[in-house]
């Protein structure tokens, strides 16, 4: 067993001994109070919004591509994630889900825990990098075909579009969480659908009408209501001051760090062909040829490091925003805690966040 400070979002921080075996935490023993100056062990990261990494994008990934992406993400400390689509033809979306289904059947301990459908029912005026030609009106047959798949857990939708009530009805039937995104919804509409149980926002502030002092819109609705919010903490999608504002108004229980990463993540600067378009990565910032941000090249390790630098968050808060909150929000099992029977994919963090690395239990030799 290895001894260090254990950080559990429910039980708090304490000095303890932990033993992992295979895919599981098999033994935990509390030994003492927190010992400052020593390493901290956090649950592995949970990312509910990731399009791709290591040269692979989910929307057109092969089985081998998923293997490659998973290998990269594990090295970055990710214990669970939802692979995310973009607005695309129905057959392409279904093919991506089917490929993931084959992969998860052959790899039952994969970190890929399901699918996040981002689109195709978005506001075209807030589409970001989504292709305009693939953003479309709600089609009930198509919607049923997508969200009825057991791997689909989450769907980002603009609530102002025609047919949103049907989306709510069908997603509820299939236990799919609806998240507000790529939207110009008014505050009044956000309040209305919040009262119908929609309590989540996709990459807050990005892909949505900005906060205005006479109509606070979706950003104001997210900040004033008890909803979960995704935030992309890369210093580009949100400045540090905005991260602090969101944290102050929301508290740490409703924040979820995400990457929104795409295939160029981990590959460096260059020109890439992604989602059927050319994307330029300069200084780790990904943009389409028209200048729109095209997801990110962010990793969860970097997101945690920047969140710490922007907010001064401690280890316990970090464990909540980088792992536990997403598990609570989306019903993900065996992740987000330091607890017997939970995932052995953990992250070791320095006393002052001077290092963030996947945990290796080398205490047994």
Global pTM value: 0.95
| Predicted local distance difference test score (pLDDT) of residue 236 | 93
The dotted CATH code for 44-332 is: 3.20.20.140
For tokens 């290591």, the residue is 54
CA–CA distances in Å: residue 261 to residues 58, 157, 163, 303, 306:
11, 19, 29, 11, 16
Return left, alpha or beta for 207; rule: phi > 0 is left, psi -120 to 50 is alpha, else beta. Answer: left
For residue 343, the 8-state DSSP code is B
Strands 255-258 and 228-232: parallel
pLDDT, tens only, 212-265: 999 999 999 999 999 999 999 999 999 999 999 999 999 999 999 999 999 999
pLDDT, tens only, 5-44: 999 999 999 999 999 999 999 999 999 999 999 999 999 9
Q: What is the token pair recorded at 345?
A: 């994919």
Share of the chain above pLDDT 70, in %: 99
Q: Residue 206 and residue 229: Cα distance in Å, rounded? A: 11
Per annotation, catalytic residue among 260, 314, 352, 362: 260
Q: Residue 160 and residue 305: Cα distance in Å, rounded? A: 36
Give φ, ψ of 315 to 5 degrees. Answer: -65, -35
Q: What is the token pair recorded at 58?
A: 């989910």
CA count, 13 A, side-chain hemisphere, 185: 29
pLDDT, tens only, 144-177: 999 999 999 999 999 999 999 999 999 999 999 9
Task: Give the residue ranges of DSSP H helices in 2-123.
Answer: 63-75, 90-106
| 3 state DSSP class of 308 | helix
Report whether 9 contacts 1 (CB < 8 A).
no
List, as own/partner pairs, every contact residues 265-271 make where C-beta atoms lie below 8 angstroms and the sequence separation is at least 24, other chains included. Answer: 265/52, 265/53, 265/54, 265/72, 265/296, 265/297, 265/298, 265/299, 266/53, 266/54, 266/55, 266/72, 266/297, 266/299, 267/54, 267/55, 267/297
Q: Residue 186 and residue 218: Cα distance in Å, rounded? A: 6
DSSP per residue, 150-199: TTEEEEEE-TTSTTHHHHHHHHHHTTPEEEE-SB---HHHHHHHHTTT--
Whether pLDDT at 272 is above 70: yes
352 is catalytic: no
Whether pLDDT at 276 is above 80: no
Q: Residue 235 and residue 113: Cα distance in Å, rounded? A: 27
């Amino acid at each position: 067993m290895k001894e260090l400070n254990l950080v559990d979002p429910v039980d708090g921080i304490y000095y303890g001994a932990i033993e992992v075996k295979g895919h599981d935490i098999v033994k935990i023993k509390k030994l003492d109070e927190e010992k400052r100056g020593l390493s901290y062990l956090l649950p592995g990261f949970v990312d509910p919004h990731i399009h791709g990494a290591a040269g692979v994008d989910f929307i057109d990934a092969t089985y081998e591509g998923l293997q490659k992406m998973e290998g990269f993400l594990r090295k970055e400390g990710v214990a669970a994630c939802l692979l995310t689509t973009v607005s695309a033809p129905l057959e392409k979306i279904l093919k991506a889900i089917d490929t993931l289904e084959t992969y998860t059947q052959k790899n039952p301990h994969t970190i890929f825990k399901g699918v996040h459908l981002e689109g195709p029912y978005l506001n075209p005026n807030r589409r970001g990098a989504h292709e305009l030609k693939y953003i479309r009106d709600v089609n009930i047959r198509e919607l049923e075909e997508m969200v009825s798949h057991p791997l689909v857990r989450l769907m980002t939708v603009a609530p102002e579009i025609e047919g949103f009530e049907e989306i709510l009805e069908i997603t509820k039937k299939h236990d799919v969480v609806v998240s507000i995104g790529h939207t110009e919804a008014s505050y009044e509409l956000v309040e209305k659908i919040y009262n119908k149980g929609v309590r989540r926002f996709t990459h807050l502030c990005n892909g949505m009408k900005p906060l205005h002092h006479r109509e606070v819109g979706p950003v104001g609705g997210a900040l004033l209501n008890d909803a979960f919010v995704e935030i992309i903490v890369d210093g580009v999608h949100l400045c540090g001051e905005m991260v602090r504002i969101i944290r102050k108004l929301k508290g740490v229980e409703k924040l979820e760090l995400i990457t929104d990463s795409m295939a160029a993540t981990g590959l460096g600067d260059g020109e890439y062909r992604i989602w059927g378009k050319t994307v330029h990565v300069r200084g780790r910032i990904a943009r389409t040829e028209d200048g729109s941000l095209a997801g990110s090249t962010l990793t969860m390790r970097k997101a945690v490091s920047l969140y710490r630098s922007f907010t001064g968050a401690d280890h316990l808060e970090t464990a909540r925003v980088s792992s536990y909150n997403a598990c609570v929000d989306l019903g993900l099992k065996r992740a987000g805690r330091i607890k017997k029977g939970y995932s052995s994919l953990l992250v070791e963090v320095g006393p002052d966040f001077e290092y963030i690395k996947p945990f290796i239990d080398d205490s047994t030799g």
